[in-house]
Structure 1
Amino acid sequence: MFKGMGGLGDMAKMMAAAKDMQGKMENLQEELRTITITGESGAGLVKATATAKGELTALDIDPSIFNPDEKEVVEDLILAAIKDAQLKASERSQQEMQKLTEGLGLPPGMKLPF
């Protein structure tokens, strides 16, 4: 296509690849909004669900833990479940991003988007 124009042909390929990657990144960001992860604490008594983007979408609490004398325990369990869901969401997001970028030749451990 750009024969005889030196490195411009390579530049055109790089630009096309960058545009393709941008489209894939946009699709991945949308997909991460639909993937749900559930974190739990207290052996499943409290469950928090979040998207792979880390947005909390649901909280499920077993009614057996509602004892007024144990309010602080319940609060701790809720926080622990939310943190677990957020950690799992972050890990899943990184896994999905790694799948997308493995063919790019980026240095190991480089996180996108920047």
Structure 2
Amino acid sequence: MYGGMGGGMGNMGAMMKKVQKLQSQMKLMQEELKKRTVEVSAGGGVVKVVMNGDKVVQSLTIAKEAVDPEDVEMLQDLISAAVNECMKKVDEMMTSEMSKLTSGLGLPPGII
């Protein structure tokens, strides 16, 4: 009776080691992804945003033809659209890369 439980505890120990290794790998990957950048443009390229994996805007470029004092709202919309799309792409990049680490574990989505 105790032998069966000991085997189960051994399996638990092995599982804990795998989880610890995975956590370590995930932390390293998160740090690496923070260094990557994504670039998005809006309005046919008149507004460009570059954002790092930590969701910090690295650069914002606005073409001169996008600056119309009579239509500031359109420029604001283009900037908002580009920044929001950049954040979405960063999230997609993070999810995609993290799923590569966890794909063989058979865990439900979103658990890690």
Task: Please indicate the TM-score interval, normalised by the length of the shorter structure.
Answer: 0.7 to 0.9
1:1-27 Cα distance to aligned partner (Å, 9 max, x none): xx9943232122112111101101111
1:39-69 Cα distance to aligned partner (Å, 9 max, x none): 2110111011112343322211112212211
Q: Over aligned residue pairs, what C-alpha RMSD do you find?
A: 1.9
> Partners of 2:69 and 2:105 in 1: how far apart?
55
- Between Structure 1 and Structure 2, the one with more helix by share is 2
- TM-score scaled by structure 2? 0.85
| Partners of 1:53 and 1:93 within 8 A in 2 | no
Structure 2: gaps spanning 5 or more residues: none
Structure 1: gaps spanning 5 or more residues: none
Q: CA deviation at 1:93?
A: 1.1
Runs of 4+ in 1 over 6 A off after TM superposition: none
Which stretch shifts more, 25-34 or 45-54? Answer: 45-54
> Partners of 2:54 and 2:94 in 1: how far apart?
7
Partner of residue 94, structure 2: 93
Which stretch shifts more, 91-100 or 57-66? Answer: 57-66
Paired residues, what number?
Answer: 109
Aligned-residue sequence identity (percent) comes to: 36
- TM-score scaled by structure 1? 0.84
Which stretch shifts more, 7-16 or 48-57? Answer: 48-57
1:73-100 Cα distance to aligned partner (Å, 9 max, x none): 1111111111111111111111111111
SS at match of 2:89: helix
